[in-house]
Amino acid sequence: MATDALIGVLALQGDVVEHIAALQRTGARATAVKTPADLARVAALVVPGGESTTVMKLLDRFRLSRPIVERTRAGMPLWGTCMGMIVAAHAVVDLDQPTLDLIDITVRRNAFGRQNESAELDLEIPALGPAPYPAVFIRAPWIERMGPEVELLAERDGHGVMVREANVLATSFHPELTGDPRVHAYFLDMVERYTRQGKVLGAA
């Protein structure tokens, strides 16, 4: 479903241009978000792949944590990929790492291993149709615990790797690195529904 909403991609660090290009290929308008003023212009936010340890520090340093939390709790659609899943999670297993606590999941970092275990594989994602999805996992997290309101959309080796709770979507893998537009389309569909329901609050 098409949306004319402007989608932001958090641009403190990570694979930002890949997400912007994938969103544009999927028919959306997309822009980089580096400041609170940038955030105020967008109707939804993608938190891309990157280093979660780094980006959590930069979010605080450049005063983006609070407005992102406030907007998302007020209904702004948010999608985190890999690092973005960790940033959005309630907590990280075995690490005293701060997160934004936007979705009721606890994640394990580098759960499948270090870089040598990074892999491409076909993933069953029933919500996207019968054709398997070409998923790219890079030093990826998995979901170790999820709350009752969280919908499991895909798993790998018995662990959740794609979940959704209301306006928040999280994937362990990187749809922005493949040519398959279905996860981006799924998110845009979420954005369209939340926009239509008038639930995107706080946009300037």
Partner 1 sequence: MESTGTPTVKRGLAQMLKGGVIMDVVTPEHALIAQEAGAVAVMALERIPADIRAAGGVARMSSIELIQSIMDAVTIPVMAKVRIGHFAEAQVLQMLGIDYIDESEVLTPADERYHVDKHAFTTPFVCGARDLGEALRRIAEGAAMIRSKGEAGSGNIVEAVRHMRAIGDAIRDLSVAPKEELVARARDLGAPLELVKQVAQDGKLPVVLFCAGGVSTPADAALMMQLGAEGIFVGSGIFKSKDPKRFAKAIVDATTHFEDPKVVLEASRSLGTSEAMPGLDVRTLSEGELMATRGN
* Nearest partner of 190 among 167, 163, 161, judged by Cα: 167
CB 26, min distance to partner 1, A: 19
CB 152, min distance to partner 1, A: 21
Looking at the Cβ atoms of 54 and 197, the one nearer to partner 1 is 54
Residue among 18, 19, 165, 176 flagged as catalytic: 176
Is residue 159 part of the annotated active site? The answer reads no
Residue among 18, 19, 165, 174 flagged as catalytic: 174
CB 12, min distance to partner 1, A: 6
Q: Show Cβ contacts of residue 199 under 8 Å, excluding neighbours closer than 6 positions.
A: 75, 167
CA distance 177 to 21: 10
* Alpha carbon distances (Å) from 94 to 90, 91, 106, 144: 13, 9, 10, 11
Q: Where would I find the beta strands (DSSP E) of the chain? A: 6-10, 29-33, 44-47, 78-81, 89-92, 103-108, 119-123, 133-137, 142-146, 151-156, 159-165, 168-171
Looking at the Cβ atoms of 68 and 82, the one nearer to partner 1 is 82
CA distance 92 to 7: 27
Task: Judge whether 188 and 79 are in contact, CB under 8 Å.
Answer: no
Quick count: other Cβ atoms within 10 Å of Cβ 103?
Answer: 27
Residues that bind partner 1 (CB under 8 A): 11-16, 18, 34, 49-51, 53-54, 57-58, 61-62, 82-83, 95, 97, 109-110, 113-122, 136-139, 174, 177-178
Is residue 90 part of the annotated active site? The answer reads no
Is residue 184 part of the annotated active site? The answer reads no
CB 137, min distance to partner 1, A: 8
Task: Judge whether 46 and 174 are in contact, CB under 8 Å.
Answer: no
Residue among 18, 82, 184, 192 flagged as catalytic: 82
CB 178, min distance to partner 1, A: 8
Catalytic residue numbers, as ranges: 82, 174, 176
